[in-house]
């Protein structure tokens, strides 16, 4: 039996967090290559530290994409995030690009040839999850951790609260009663700011109204614990305060710890990498299962072998909330969506430059964009799933 009454905590980080700066730059590289060639292959990693950025990895794409273009895209991303401080400035940072050609041994396993379909870009396991806790069918602790930082980012970029800096982290502890989220027992927020004389109380006075706007009415009580900039001043932030690397915030990117994670990062990878595309497909399926009313909560696992086109396994757990047989659902999911790398990319139209926008505030729980971004958040399989049962 699942526990009914408990506390659960998730965290989020802003687009100015050092690791998210790295994710953003890596996904800018992916977008540039896919814009130039939808079949380009990219595996890009980025390191950010004090006034230095290093872009590395392997690619296969048109020669028209030059290192200078990627370096300028990195500068533009840093500027868009808002870094213009002495220790990390979009104009002055030393940016180096060390991308090289993709291994031919990887390409031979992944590429389609003869009667062989395109294979998975690597082995691995991927998880998708959906739960009826928020309108986006995301777990409440992560959803509201993201929303807090998105709201603070909006007022920072607009100039409404220009004292706030780009680097920030949030953490929300949600109380569950009868298995439903009903309130917040603690709120943690650390945000970079520009004035060394501002105290933790000063920052709380600035951010508290926005946090209260973000959370559901009645969720904050007089017993809710607040920890705003608990260490005091937070002026030195971003990559100047702590080095950043691509792929270090995978729990923030997915479900905040409310669901399993296969371990693979998303950012910097083109959609032939099943770390990314199959994780998107698993979320797509889980969300449609819940949206179709087949369960209130769903976890889906997919597994792959490098160079092999079809998944090795499909596993479904409806957490004792299901209205249908899980074994039958596993079969149905493979019928309503082709889960080969090519099938996923074709159905979700993933070979497009839509990835830089995913690098902050989660890859899931977002609204689908008109240009195809976040296509895995659509609920267009509902009718097919219902009819199958």
Give CA–CA dist 155/134, Å, rounded.
Answer: 24
Q: Is the dihedral of CA 239, 241, 242, 248 positive or negative?
A: negative
Is 273 a catalytic site residue? yes
- Side-chain half-sphere of 260: how many Cα atoms within 13 Å? 13
380 is catalytic: no
Q: Which of 24, 60, 143, 248 is catalytic?
A: 248
| DSSP sequence for 85-144 | ETTEETTT-EEEEEEEEPPHHHHHHHS-BTTBPPPBSS-EEEEEEEETTSTTS--HHHHH
Residue 127 falls in the annotated catalytic set:
no
Of the candidates 8, 234, 364, 374, the residue annotated as catalytic is 234
Catalytic residue among 60, 156, 175, 273: 273
Q: Is 283 annotated as a binding residue?
A: no
Active site residue 117: no
Spot the catalytic one: 8, 11, 15, 17: 17
Which residue stretches of the chain are H helix?
A: 18-36, 67-81, 104-110, 140-158, 200-214, 250-253, 274-291, 326-336, 341-348, 382-388
**Is 249 part of any known ligand binding site?**
yes
Is 331 part of the annotated catalytic residue set?
no
150 is catalytic: no
248 is catalytic: yes
Does 201 appear as a known binding residue?
no
As to burial, measured by CB atoms within 10 angstroms (0-12 exposed, 13-18 middle, 19+ buried), residue 359 is buried
Q: According to the annotation, is 331 in a ligand binding site?
A: no
240 is an annotated ligand-binding site residue: no
H/E stretch holding 64: none
Q: Catalytic residue among 8, 11, 15, 19, which?
A: 19
> Is residue 91 part of an annotated ligand binding site?
no
**37 assigned ligand-binding residue:** no
Q: 269 labelled as ligand-binding? A: yes
- Active-site annotation holder among 58, 202, 208, 326: 58
Can you name the residues that pair with 89 across neighbouring β-strands?
A: 84
Active-site annotation holds for 20:
yes
Could you say which of 269, 276, 283, 297 is catalytic? 269
User: In whole angstroms, how far apart are CA 52 and each of 88, 94, 185?
Assistant: 8, 5, 40
Q: Is 328 known to sit in a ligand binding site? A: no
Q: Is 269 a catalytic residue?
A: yes
Q: Are 128 and 303 in contact (CB under 8 A)?
A: no
Q: Is 72 among the annotated ligand-binding positions?
A: no
Orientation of helix 18-36 relative to helix 67-81, angle to 10°? 140
Alpha-carbon span 131 to 133, nearest angstrom: 6
* Cα–Cα distance, 322 to 335 (Å, whole number): 19
Residue 79 catalytic? no
Residue with tokens 């439903």: 180
323 is in an annotated binding site: no
Catalytic residue (one of 24, 249, 276, 283): 249
Catalytic residue check, 86: no
Is 319 a residue of the active site?
A: no
Report whether 386 belongs to an annotated binding site. Answer: no
**Any binding-site annotation on 204?**
no
| Residue 180 labelled as part of a binding site | no
Which residues are known binding-site members for ATP? 17, 167-169, 242, 248-249, 265, 269
Catalytic residues: 17, 19-20, 45, 58, 169, 234, 242-243, 248-249, 269, 273, 275
Binding residues: 17, 19, 45, 58, 102, 167-169, 242, 248-249, 265, 269, 273
> Which parts are annotated binding residues for K(+)?
45
């Amino acid at each position: 039996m699942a526990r009914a009454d408990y506390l659960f905590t998730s965290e989020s980080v802003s687009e100015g967090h050092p690791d998210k700066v790295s994710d953003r730059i890596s996904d800018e590289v992916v977008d540039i290559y896919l814009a130039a060639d939808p079949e380009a292959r990219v595996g890009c990693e980025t390191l950010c530290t004090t006034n230095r950025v290093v872009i590395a990895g392997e690619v296969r794409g048109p020669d028209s994409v030059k290192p200078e273009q990627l370096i300028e895209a990195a500068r533009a991303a840093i500027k868009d995030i808002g870094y213009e401080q002495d220790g990390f400035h979009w104009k002055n940072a030393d940016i180096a690009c060390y991308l090289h050609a993709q291994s031919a041994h990887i390409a031979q396993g992944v590429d389609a040839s003869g009667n062989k379909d395109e294979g998975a870009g690597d082995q691995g396991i991927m998880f998708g999850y959906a739960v009826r806790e928020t309108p986006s069918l995301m777990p409440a602790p992560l959803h509201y951790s993201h929303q807090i930082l998105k709201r603070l980012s909006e007022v920072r970029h607009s100039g409404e609260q220009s004292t706030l800096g780009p680097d920030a982290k949030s953490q929300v502890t949600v109380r569950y009663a009868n298995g439903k989220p009903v309130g917040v027992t603690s709120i943690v927020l650390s945000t970079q700011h520009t004035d060394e004389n501002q105290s933790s109380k000063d920052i709380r006075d600035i951010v508290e109204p926005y946090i209260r706007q973000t959370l559901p009415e009645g969720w904050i009580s007089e017993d809710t614990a607040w920890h705003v900039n608990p260490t005091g001043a937070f002026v030195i932030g971003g990559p100047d305060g702590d080095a950043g690397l691509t792929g270090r915030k995978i729990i923030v990117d997915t479900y905040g710890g409310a669901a399993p994670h296969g371990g693979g990062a998303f950012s910097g990878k083109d959609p032939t990498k099943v770390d990314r595309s199959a994780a998107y497909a698993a979320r797509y399926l889980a969300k449609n299962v819940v949206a179709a009313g087949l369960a209130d909560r769903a976890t889906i696992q997919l597994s792959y072998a490098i160079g092999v086109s079809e998944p090795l396994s499909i596993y479904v757990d409806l957490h004792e909330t299901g209205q249908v047989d899980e074994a039958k659902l596993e079969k149905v999911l493979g019928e309503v969506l082709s889960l080969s790398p090519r099938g996923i990319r074709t159905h979700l139209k993933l070979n497009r430059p839509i990835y830089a926008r995913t690098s902050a505030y989660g890859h899931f729980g977002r609204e689908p964009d008109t240009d195809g971004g976040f296509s895995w958040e659509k609920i267009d399989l509902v009718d097919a799933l219902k009819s199958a049962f």
